[in-house]
Structure 1
Amino acid sequence: MKEDFLHYVWQYKKFAFPNLTTVSGEEITIVNTGQYLKQSGPDFFNAQIIIGHQKWAGNVEIHLKSSDWYLHQHENDDHYNNVILHVVWEHDTPIFRKYNSEIPTLALKSYIEQDVLKQYLSLTSPKSWIYCENQIASIDQFFFKNWLERLFFERLERKAIPIEELLQETDNDWESVLFYMLAKNFGLNTNGEIFLKMAKSIPFSIIRKERFEVENLEALLMGKVDLLPMDAEDYYAKDLHNRSTYIMQKHRLKKTFVEPVQFFKHRPDNFPTIRLAQLAMLYHKRQNLFAEIIATHSMEDFYKLFEVGVSSYWENHYQFEKESPKKKKQFSKSFIDLLVINTIVPFQFTYAKSQGKEISEQLLRLMETIAPEKNIIIEKFSNFGVNSKNAFETQSLLQLKNNYCNHSKCLQCALGIQLLKK
């Protein structure tokens, strides 16, 4: 038994209303169960309850056992002085407010509807992956889609937080923050944080000044992550090393390096050298990148926007001084999909919010045109009958698994509540 189940029972009135009494035998009539706050302080605010012949207005606190009141030290907290009813699963001790007045207690164990209890026990029975794994595919699809939309925007709000934090750091320099977020995502999971630190160590004003020569951008980015060989015989490596030294001196940049980048377990097209060469070419070719990204709303146009490759040297190299068969090394569609999902959509969402604009439907339509992501979580949902048709659905399912299922928040999840109502 968990406390959130009692919250659900009280909020949705899933107990026998007639003949309620306190543990001391006083008759209870519930006029209003109150507002569920989901924050610090009592659980339900502004309830109205008749106890005996006295009508009370105030707050309701819910615990599994009466003694939890003292376990949580509510007797010393002024926020709980206005509690008019203590609702518990089982009563094990009388409860007093800070100034020794006793709080009436309702023990719900005897009043909860048995069908509700049975459904709850079924929902929280042993699982192999998530609690509702054997029931989730039975949920009405219209209802499921509405919950996925809510989850999608919850995930967007979470992804907006680091963008907003970077905006505070840069005095609302949107172009700088876009560069930081793109750099992070170019690094993927392995090198993402390293690329982000690298990008933040370079004032974006320098990117603006140096982007007219792609070699200067390569020298700057690769020099900052210590990818330029010191004693290379390769002419291009020597040139970038010299350019890096000159640019660092010209702009008075510190030579301290961030952590070493990782090549291990990456396919060659994802080597940090190639991703940085692509990032450099992107900022060389698209000198109004911020404006273009804000103005682009279809995947077809995003594929065109990111239709850039690498400088000629990297067409037949994956690493310095190691020649390979020639390949243009343009962005793959799957990589552009990842950029749009993880960087551009959260960025457009945050920017629109800052401008007071509503673009929710536009972002939903865009995400519905992107192929579904492939990972172990999405595969597991598929095994239990929940198949994804697009990236909107996979992003929503990731939010569901990571923020609800992993924390056993079944009774804060619309799907869990729907299953309880069956």
Structure 2
Amino acid sequence: MNEDILNFIWRFQYFETGHLQTDEGQSLSISRTGLLNTNAGPDFTHVRVQIDGVEWVGCVEIHVKASDWLLHQHENDKAYESVVLHVVWENDLPIRRQDGTLLPTLTLKGLVRLSILERYAQLQDEKDEIPCAKLFSQAGHLQKLGMLDKVLLERLEKKASLVIELFQNNQQNWKDTTYQWLGQHFGFKLNDPAFLRLTQNVPWKVLQKHRNSLLQIEALLFGTAGLIPESELQASNSTHQMDEYVQDLNREYQFLSAKYGLQNSRMEDHEWKFLRLRPAGFPTVRLAQFATLLSKNPSLFTTFTHTEKVSSLFDLFQLQQSVYWKGHFRFAKKSKSTVPDMGKDAASLLIINAVVPLMVAYARQRHVPELLDKAISWLSEIPAENNRITREWERLEMKVKTAADSQALIEWYNNYCTPRKCLDCTVGAALVRSN
């Protein structure tokens, strides 16, 4: 037994309500169960009950045991003086208000339908990654669709909040925020932290001064990233035969880093992760592709906000890295075959995880609902992601056709199924309620 299921039972009145009495023997009638409070304070607010014919309006606090009131130190918190009814599973201790009067208590044990408790326990104890997998087919189609819509919006809002946080840290500058947010996602999860740190160390306005020179943009990025080999950075080492490209890169970095005071912003090469990545996904290759994008687009933010068709975004991310990086995965290590340009799958991930949340954040911040609609429509036009989570849902015959579907199902799995928040899930709650 826990407070989650008790909150659920109280909220939907899944207990015998006829001829109710408080534990003190007073008649009890419930007119309104109130609103679930997700902040500090009592569990339900705006409750309306009648106790011995007297109407009370206030709050309800839920506990497994009545003594939890003292365990949680509510007796010292004035916020709990508004509680008009204490709802518990087991009344092991009379509770009094600060003025000494007895707090009316309702014990649910013995009043609750056993089927509710059995279904809830079944979901909580289930070993499947999706707790309701064995019962999922019993849930209604509309309940599943409703949950999909809910979790998609939750996922977009969660990501948008991260964009807004970055926006605030950038003194509300959308251009800097776009550059850093997009740059971070060129790390494709494993190297996200390093890419974000790099974009924060090399200012967008500095790169814009050199947007007509891809070599200079690469020099600023690779040099500050700490990825140019040490021997290339040491001019005194004349015994090392350097590639012409790396010589040029090093020379430009030495000059530009001194000009803009970036020497102390240089990262360490160990911050970049190569292990378990396909060579085409190495951070060196992604950084070269990012440099190409920056050199061709003087205002990424304007580009994104003015783009109408998702196909235009795919065209934008058809990125061909510079000549050196078509033949190298890493510095001074020539590839046996041509290094592929950015593929459609990588472009999809950038649109899904970077561009769409950016547009949602901007739509929220500027109150432009049309942009939100456009961002969601983009997701509906991109093929679904194929990963372990989406395959789990397909096993339950959930159709995963678009990125909107896959994004919703990933959120559903991660934030409802994994933590076993079945009662907050439309499908899980319906299954618990069913006989």
Q: 1:390, 1:17 → 2: CA distance?
A: 45
Q: 2:236 aligns to what?
A: none
Question: Is 1:77 equivalent to 2:89 in the alignment?
Answer: no
Q: Map of 1:293-312 to 2, 5 A cutoff?
A: 293-312=304-323
* Equivalent runs, 1:127-166 vs 2, <5 Å: 127-166=127-166
User: Which residue of 235, 251, 267 maps to 2:244?
Assistant: 235
SS at match of 1:61: strand
Equivalenced residue count is: 422
* Corresponding position: 1:114 with 2:114: yes
Determine helix, strand or coil for the equivalent of 1:255. Answer: helix
Unaligned 5+ residue runs, structure 1? none
CA distance in 2, matches of 1:362, 1:141: 26
Residue 404 of structure 1 aligns with which residue? 416
Question: Scaled by the length of structure 1, what TM-score is found?
Answer: 0.95
Structure 1 residues 165 and 363, CA gap change in structure 2 (3 angstroms): same
Q: Is the 8 A contact 1:297 1:366 kept in 2?
A: no
SS in 2 for 1:81: helix
Instruction: Give the conservation status (yes or no) of the 8 Å contact 1:229–1:241.
Output: no
Q: Does structure 1 residue 262 correspond to structure 2 residue 270?
A: no
8 Å contact 1:88–1:105 — kept in the other structure?
A: yes
- For residues 176-225 of structure 1, the C-alpha deviation after alignment (integer angstroms, 9 at most, x for no partner) is 11111121111122211011101101121101101210000111111111
Deviates more, 1:346-355 or 1:31-40: 31-40
**Aligned 8 A contact 2:175 2:299 in 1:** no
Answer yes or no: is the 8 Å Cα contact 1:34–1:47 preserved in 2. yes
Residue 43 of structure 2 is matched in structure 1 by: 43
Match of 1:418 in 2: 430
Give the structure, 1 or 2, with the largest relative contact order (CA under 8 Å, sep 6 or more). Answer: 2
- Give me the whole-angstrom Cα distance separating, in 2, the residues matched to 1:361 and 1:308: 27
Relative to structure 2, which stretch is displaced further, 40-49 or 257-266? 257-266
Deviations 1:384-415 (A, max 9, x none): 43342221111111211222222221111212
- Which position in structure 1 is the counterpart of 2:344? 333
Task: Name the counterpart of 1:366.
Answer: 378
| Identity fraction in percent | 34
Per-residue deviation, residues 70-117 of structure 1 (Å, max 9, x unmatched)? 111111100001111101111111011123221011001122233333
Between stretches 398-407 and 332-341, larger displacement belongs to 398-407
Corresponding residue of 1:57? 57
| Offset of residue 62 of structure 1 | 0.8
Q: Which moved more, 1:363-372 or 1:97-106?
A: 363-372
Preserved CA contact (<8 Å) 1:137 1:386: no
Structure 1 window deviating more from structure 2 (7-16 vs 127-136): it is 127-136
Asked if the contact 1:282–1:306 (Cα under 8 Å) also holds between the matched residues in 2, the reply is yes
Asked if 1 retains the 8 angstrom alpha-carbon contact of 2:318 and 2:343, the reply is no
The whole-number CA distance in structure 2 between the counterparts of 1:395 and 1:236 is 41
Aligned to 1:191: 191
Give how far 1:24 is off.
1.9
Kindly indicate whether the alpha-carbon contact (under 8 Å) linking 1:127 and 1:133 is maintained by their aligned counterparts in 2.
Answer: no
SS at match of 2:411: helix
- Give the Cα separation in 1 of the matches to 2:49 and 2:76: 24
Where in structure 2 are there 5+ consecutive unaligned residues? 233-241
Whole-angstrom distance in 2 between the partners of 1:49 and 1:205:
62
TM-score normalised to structure 2 length: 0.92
Report the CA distance between 1:293 and its aligned residue. Answer: 1.3
| Aligned mates of 1:302, 1:371 — CA distance in 2 | 14
When residues 308 and 125 of structure 1 are mapped into structure 2, their CA distance, relative to the original with a 3 A threshold, is closer
Contact 1:229 1:237 in 2 (8 A): no
Distance in 1 of aligned mates of 2:230 and 2:64: 66
- Letter of the structure 2 residue corresponding to residue 243 of structure 1: E
What's 2:395 paired with? 383
TM superposition shift of 1:328: 6.6
Q: Match of 2:90, as an amino acid?
A: E
Give the secondary structure class of the aligned counterpart of 1:38.
Answer: coil
For 1:247, the aligned partner's letter is L
Paired position in structure 1 for 2:24: 24
1:127-164 deviation per Cα after TM superposition (whole angstroms, max 9, x unaligned): 23232121223322232122111111111111112211
